[in-house]
Amino acid sequence: MNTDTLIPKNFNKLLIANRGEIAMRILRACHELGIRTVAIFSDADRNAMHVRQAHEAYYIGPPPARDSYLLIDKIIEVAKQSGAEAVHPGYGFLAERAEFAQACLDAGLVFVGPPVNAIRVMGDKQTARQTVKAAGVPIVPGTEPGLDDAALIQAAEDIGYPLLVKASAGGGGKGMRPVHKSADLADSIAAARREAMAAFGDDTVYLEKMLVGARHIEIQLLADMDGNIIHLGERECSLQRRHQKLIEESPSYVVDEKLRQQMGEVAVAAARAVDYVNAGTIEFLVDRDKNFYFLEMNTRLQVEHPVTELVTGIDIVQEQLRISRGRRLRINQADVKMSGWAIECRINAEDPYNNYLPSTGQITASRLPTGPGVRVDTGVFPGYEVTPYYDSMLSKLVCYGETRSEAVLRMRRALEEYRIMGVKTNIPFHQHMMDSHRFLTGQFDTSFVEERFSMDEREAPHQLDAAILATLVAHQQGQKASQIVAPGDRDTSNWKWLGRWERLQK
């Protein structure tokens, strides 16, 4: 096996090479396993939750990621300085950079992730396609590697429209452009190259047929160093906007036990083709006839891993840490049981009523929903500043139910309870989706959000109530203000400090 780049070691201190909710997620798993944590932070994150809750924290640079969270040498230096024995990259940033995994190994640090070679092969989308195709995995029709613009435009005629321009180094929808007619192709290739260069420093792109009406369904894998690979069933992530996932669920409405088994076996074969170790995900497109095609492999933890955790009861991040410590998987495929249903809504700082424009500013209030069947993963708190430097996801709201409809009803309840103020959020988008007949009946594909879902139809139901509340507050503040003229009236300055005022009312 080509896993000689992994050093199993029973590490007790780990550096988290990330920020935000995923840094908190990793930190919690570490603390639960008795592993001490080392956080890193940019100037924008001195007050971040992961910095305050880690055992140690080191400053690494200015807010832009290229000056801090993407600095491989600096992060390795901090790891050595702090005495960390392992590094968890989270997702995004350096998670799928083979050179970072290599740098960890060179420094004698355990990289909590797959072997360097697996990252490298799967990181280049075109090489990945060739590799899994050779292992018998069905792939979406598309171009061969290394074509220039002219050759791509030529090849597009054979593939046919609609098609996708995709960055070879891409991921998370960056450097990806749908093209519906040949007239738009050249512009889209240019845009994709520009975005790919900015995001990944590599502007190689390729074309892939766009499967109309297809659903995005992925298989979660766990693989240990002894070559045991199991899958934890599927997640459906079809609800996307501009290739950014918004809502994920497990299981999928359209996957039955037989299809799950087939997709699981193919996913395991794809992973085996690169001698995969640790947690990873094979993304598939599933067409209306339930044919499925390999899309790409994510050689890291996924944002949406919690839905799988809720239906299988398995803690994927703890499993990652165990695997990297050299332990064999404790369970085999037959032990994996899915029960109930879990849905995740990504709560983003963006305005669903205004073309989903990102929203920045200080969070003035944040109260998380809680109670039965609700999980929130977040790094946000009252006073947190949403900056333009990092992505707009504030939290992941995950709900569990015995059935899909119970999970949906619980999600509605949790969305109503969730309060974030100071920036606009996409909570109304999720509320509208949870009310949507097509969502409830599972009738959607990857184009649903962009093409057949509109917030214009939504009637925000509390206009009168909002008017009354605002008027009462304005009235009360006006009354307060008019009292300020009275000298020595100390209470006016305590307007927001209700304790005293309230007592006067009683």
Partner 1 sequence: MKYFTTVGDQQYTIEIDHDNKILVNGERYDIDFQPSPEGSVYSLLLNNRSLEGLVEEREDTWEVLIRGELYEVQVQDERAFRLAKARGTVATVSGDVNIISPMPGIIVAVPVSEGEHVSKGDKVIILESMKMENELRAPRDGVVRRVFVQAGAGVEKNQTLVLIGDPDAQGEESDEA
What residues make contact with its own copies under the rule CB under 8 A? 24-25, 28-29, 31-34, 43, 47, 53, 306, 309, 313-315, 317-318, 337, 339-340, 362, 367-368, 370-378, 381, 383, 385, 400, 402, 406, 409-410, 412-413, 416-417, 498-499, 502, 506
Whichever of 77 and 406 has its CB closer to its own copies, that residue is 406
Q: Does 464 sit near partner 1 (CB under 8 A)?
A: yes
**374-378, strands of its sheet edge to edge:** 292-298, 278-286, 215-223, 229-241, 244-250, 341-348, 393-401, 374-378
In the complex, what is the shortest distance from the CB of residue 156 to partner 1, in angstroms, rounded to a whole number? 22
Rule CB under 8 A: say whether 82 interacts with partner 1: yes
Strand partners, 215: 286
Chain centre to alpha carbon of residue 172: 8
Judged by beta carbon, residue 243 or residue 322, the one nearer partner 1 is: 243
With CB under 8 A as the rule, give the number of residues binding partner 1: 75
Q: How far is the CB of 431 from its own copies (least distance, A)?
A: 13
Among positions 341-360, residues that touch partner 1 (CB under 8 A) are 355, 357-360
Spatial distance between the Cα atoms of 313 and 334, rounded to a whole number of angstroms: 14
In the structure encoding, which two tokens stand for residue 72, read together?
């491989």
Q: Which stretch binds partner 1 (CB under 8 A): 213-221, 331-339, 381-389, 400-408?
A: 381-389
* 31 or 272: CB nearest its own copies: 31
88 lines the binding site for partner 1 (CB under 8 A): no
Q: Which of 257, 383, 402, 405 binds partner 1 (CB under 8 A)?
A: 383
Question: Interface with partner 1 by CB under 8 A: which range of 205-213, 226-234, 317-325, 423-431?
Answer: 423-431
Q: Which of 120, 129, 241, 300 is catalytic?
A: 300
Cβ neighbours, 10 Å, residue 476: 11
Residues of span 178-237 touching partner 1 by CB under 8 A: 191, 194-195, 198-199
Q: Residue 450: name its binding partner from partner 1, its own copies, none (Cβ under 5 to 8 Å by kind).
A: none
Token code pair at residue 392 = 């707009």
**What is the C-alpha separation between 427 and 353, in angstroms, rounded?**
11
| Candidate segments 69-77, 204-212, 317-325, 498-506, binder of partner 1 by CB under 8 A | 498-506
Binding map of partner 1 across residues 95-134, x = CB under 8 A, - = no contact: ----------------------------------------
b/e sequence 318-336, b meaning 16+ C-beta within 10 Å: ebbbbbbbbeebebeeeeb
- Which listed option, its own copies, partner 1, none, makes contact with residue 212 (CB within 5 to 8 Å by class)? none
> 3-class DSSP state for residue 142?
strand
> Rounded to whole angstroms, what are the CA distances from 124 to 129, 206, 503?
9, 11, 65
Among 473, 491, 492, 494, binds partner 1 (CB under 8 A): 473
419 is catalytic: no
C-beta of residue 299 within 8 angstroms of C-beta of residue 113: yes
CB atoms within 10 A of CB 359: 18
| Shortest distance, position 213 Cβ to its own copies, whole Å | 32
For its own copies, give the closer residue by CB, 28 or 272.
Answer: 28
- Within 10 angstroms of residue 260's Cβ, the number of other Cβ atoms is 18
What DSSP string describes 66-123? GGTTT-HHHHHHHHHHHT--EEE--SSTTTT-HHHHHHHHHTTPEESSS-HHHHHHHH
Closest CA to 175 of 200, 208, 154: 200
Q: Is residue 151 a contact residue for partner 1 (CB under 8 A)?
A: no
Q: Which is nearer to partner 1, 341 or 356 (CB)?
A: 356
Least distance to partner 1 from the beta carbon of 331, Å? 32
Q: How far is CA 239 from CA 263, 424, 472, in A?
A: 20, 20, 40
Residue 138 near residue 292, CB atoms below 8 Å: yes
Q: Which residues belong to the active site?
A: 300
